Chains A and B, each alone.
Chain A
Amino acid sequence: NAGVTQTPKFRILKIGQSMTLQCTQDMNHNYMYWYRQDPGMGLKLIYYSVGAGITDKGEVPNGYNVSRSTTEDFPLRLELAAPSQTSVYFCASSILYEQYFGPGTRLTVT
């Protein structure tokens, strides 16, 4: 099992550009999550999904969108990038309590 994979590893965006962060898991987990981690801080939940076709907002959803068309994939979309979205983004999946995290995407918006 590859676990949770994320692409790209790094990305630099200009203000106003759009991009999609990809997340795939091969563990057949129903629950998937997107977090952002700012320097020296803990993780904050952006969006989560309890299964294909079902998504819900987390603590900091503004400026982001998600979709969940399959069990395996949970992409995160940034429509109009802003400097405040500079962060490291982690995707995670779980069956119940134990969440498995991907390696992260480091995003810089300038």
Chain B
Amino acid sequence: GESVGLHLPTLSVQEGDNSIINCAYSNSASDYFIWYKQESGKGPQFIIDIRSNMDKRQGQRVTVLLNKTVKHLSLQIAATQPGDSAVYFCAEISSNDYKLSFGAGTTVTVRA
């Protein structure tokens, strides 16, 4: 079936640098995409979302970019901090049933 996946399983970033986490999706019918952050031993936490009719959305220190032509989603984290160390998941959802489909995740490690 169609699924959402991430390009790289791990990402090591120097504190203060910007991070870019990538995600490829295959379901062109999805109309909503979400990035979640999961810290060790905790449940996923909502970071930012974007509708399929948008190509960019900004939050506090985070930006999500959506390229529907190549079915690519990315999360940019500005000035990465130690507290940003976590596993990041992209997920897609359809307004038909509000069921999330998750990728495998990217583990981000911030180096001091």
List A residues at the B interface (Cβ < 8 Å). 4, 31, 33, 40-45, 48, 50, 58, 90, 92, 94, 96-104
| Chain B 21-50 per-residue mask, 1 if CB under 8 angstroms from chain A, else 0 | 000000000001010000001111110010
A-B contact count (CB 8 A): 51
Interface size on B, residues (CB 8 A): 20
List B residues at the A interface (Cβ < 8 Å). 9, 32, 34, 41-46, 49, 89, 93, 98-105
User: Which residue in chain B gives the minimum CB-CB distance to A4?
Assistant: B43
Question: Which secondary structure characterizes the binding site on chain A?
Answer: strand
Q: What 10 A-B pairs are tightest by C-beta distance, nearest first?
A: A101-B43, A42-B102, A43-B102, A42-B104, A101-B44, A97-B32, A90-B43, A42-B103, A104-B43, A98-B46
